[in-house]
C-alpha cells in the first residue's frame, strides 16, 4: 500500500510541469500596469507606474479613475488582452503582495516600454529589478519631450501644492532646501518643516545607481531646483520615492 502511494505521488509530481511564461495568455487588463494571466496569477509590469483606476474606501474598491487612468488601462488592454505574451523576469519575480513582476513582450513589442513611450506610464524603477532601465529611461524621455499622453495633459505643480494630490502621479517642481540622511534613506526636503513639506525619498538600496552617475545623494541636490515625477504618497507630508537619478530632472 505504501509503495502504491509513493508511486502515485511520483506520477503526480512527474505530470505537473512548470508554467511556460514564454508563451502565456493574458485574459484581462486590470489597469495600465497590471494584468491577469490565464493561470489566474496577477502580473505587475516592472519599471513603470500608471495612474490608478480605483480607490479603496471603507475596505472596498470604488471605480474612480485618476487623470489618464482609464486611458492607460484601455491602451494596455489593446496591447495585451486576449493575446499570448512572453514574460521575462528580473532578479525578483514577485512583490510583497504576491504578484508576479515581469517585462512583457507581444512578439517584438516591449509592452512596458511602449506604455512609457506613448505617455501612459511614468518610470518607476525598483532595485534590483533594473535589467531594462536604460531603455525605459529613453522611452520616458521621448514621451516627455514630445508631450505625449499625460505629459501634454498634466500641469507641473509646485512643491507646496503636492499635498493636494495624494495618490496621484504628478510632476512636482521645487528647490531642495535641506537634505537629511537616516540609517536607511536620504530625504530631500523642499521646505523648512520636514513633517509637512514635500520630500523626495531615496532609499539606501538605490544609492549605487546614483554613484554610477557620480552623484552623491547626500550633497548633490542641495540648493538645486528640480522636477520629480511619480506617485505622491502621504508620510510626514507628501513624498515621492525615487530609485534612480533619471527620475530627478535638474532645472537649475
Which CATH number is associated with domain 155-250? 2.40.50.140
Q: For residue 137, which phi and psi values (nearest 5 degrees)?
A: -60, -45
CA angle 138, 143, 145 (to 5 degrees): 95
Query: Quick one: average pLDDT of 110-137?
Result: 94
Query: Quick one: average pLDDT of 104-112?
Result: 97
Q: Which pLDDT belongs to residue 55?
A: 64
pLDDT confidence tier of residue 6, bands split at 50, 70 and 90: very low
pLDDT digits (tens, 9 = 90+) for 172-190: 999 999 999 998 999 999 9
Tell me the CATH number of domain 24-150, given options 2.40.50.90, 3.90.700.10, 3.40.50.720, 3.40.50.300: 2.40.50.90
Among the ranges 5-19, 54-68, 230-244, which has the highest mean pLDDT value? 230-244
Instruction: Quote the pTM value.
Output: 0.86
Q: Which pLDDT belongs to residue 236?
A: 85
Query: Quick one: average pLDDT of 54-77?
Result: 79
For residues 193 and 13, the model is more confident at 193
Do the domains at 24-150 and 155-250 have one common CATH topology? yes
pLDDT confidence tier of residue 154, bands split at 50, 70 and 90: confident
pLDDT digits (tens, 9 = 90+) for 192-237: 887 889 999 999 999 999 999 999 999 999 999 999 999 999 998 9
Q: Which pLDDT belongs to residue 156?
A: 94
Q: What is the mean pLDDT of the chain?
A: 90
99 is catalytic: yes
| HEC string for 47-80 | EEECCCCEEEECCEEEECCCCCHHHHHHHHHHHH
Contact 86, 22 (CB under 8 A): yes
Q: What percent of the chain has pLDDT over 70?
A: 89
For residues 60 and 167, the model is more confident at 167
Query: How far is it, in rounded angstroms, from Cα 115 to Cα 131?
Result: 17
Q: Which pLDDT belongs to residue 57?
A: 64
Q: Which pLDDT belongs to residue 126?
A: 86
What are the residue boundaries of the structural domains of the chain, listed by start?
Answer: 24-150, 155-250
Q: How far lies 194's CA from each of 123, 237, 247, in Å? A: 25, 8, 21
pLDDT digits (tens, 9 = 90+) for 14-58: 445 688 999 999 999 999 999 999 999 999 999 999 998 766 666
88 is catalytic: no
Q: Which pLDDT belongs to residue 5?
A: 45
Catalytic: which of 77, 99, 141, 148?
99
Q: Which pLDDT belongs to residue 62?
A: 67
Q: Residue 130 above 50 pLDDT? A: yes
pLDDT confidence tier of residue 10, bands split at 50, 70 and 90: very low
44 is catalytic: yes
Amino acid at each position: 500500500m505504501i509503495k502504491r502511494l509513493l508511486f502515485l505521488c511520483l506520477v503526480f509530481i512527474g505530470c505537473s510541469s512548470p508554467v511556460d511564461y514564454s508563451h502565456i495568455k493574458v485574459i484581462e487588463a486590470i489597469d495600465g500596469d497590471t494584468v491577469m494571466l490565464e493561470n489566474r496569477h496577477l502580473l505587475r509590469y516592472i519599471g513603470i507606474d500608471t495612474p490608478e483606476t480605483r480607490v479603496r474606501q471603507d475596505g472596498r474598491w470604488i471605480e474612480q479613475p485618476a487623470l489618464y487612468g482609464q486611458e492607460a488601462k484601455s491602451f494596455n488592454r489593446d496591447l495585451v488582452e486576449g493575446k499570448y505574451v512572453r514574460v521575462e523576469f528580473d532578479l525578483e519575480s514577485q512583490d510583497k503582495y504576491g504578484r508576479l513582476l515581469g517585462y512583457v513582450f507581444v512578439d517584438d513589442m516591449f509592452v512596458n516600454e511602449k506604455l512609457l513611450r506613448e505617455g501612459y506610464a511614468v518610470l518607476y524603477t525598483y532595485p534590483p529589478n533594473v535589467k531594462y532601465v536604460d531603455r525605459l529611461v529613453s522611452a520616458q524621455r521621448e514621451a516627455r519631450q514630445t508631450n505625449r499622453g499625460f505629459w501634454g495633459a498634466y500641469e507641473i505643480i509646485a512643491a507646496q501644492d503636492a499635498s493636494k494630490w495624494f495618490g496621484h502621479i504628478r510632476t512636482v517642481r521645487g528647490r531642495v532646501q535641506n537634505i537629511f540622511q537616516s540609517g536607511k534613506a536620504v530625504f530631500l526636503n523642499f521646505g523648512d518643516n520636514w513633517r509637512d513639506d514635500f520630500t523626495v525619498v531615496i532609499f539606501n538600496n538605490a544609492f549605487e545607481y546614483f554613484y554610477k552617475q557620480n552623484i552623491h545623494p547626500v550633497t548633490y541636490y542641495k540648493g538645486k531646483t528640480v522636477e520629480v515625477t511619480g506617485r505622491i504618497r502621504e508620510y510626514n507630508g507628501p513624498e515621492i520615492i525615487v530609485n534612480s537619478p533619471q527620475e530627478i530632472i535638474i532645472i537649475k
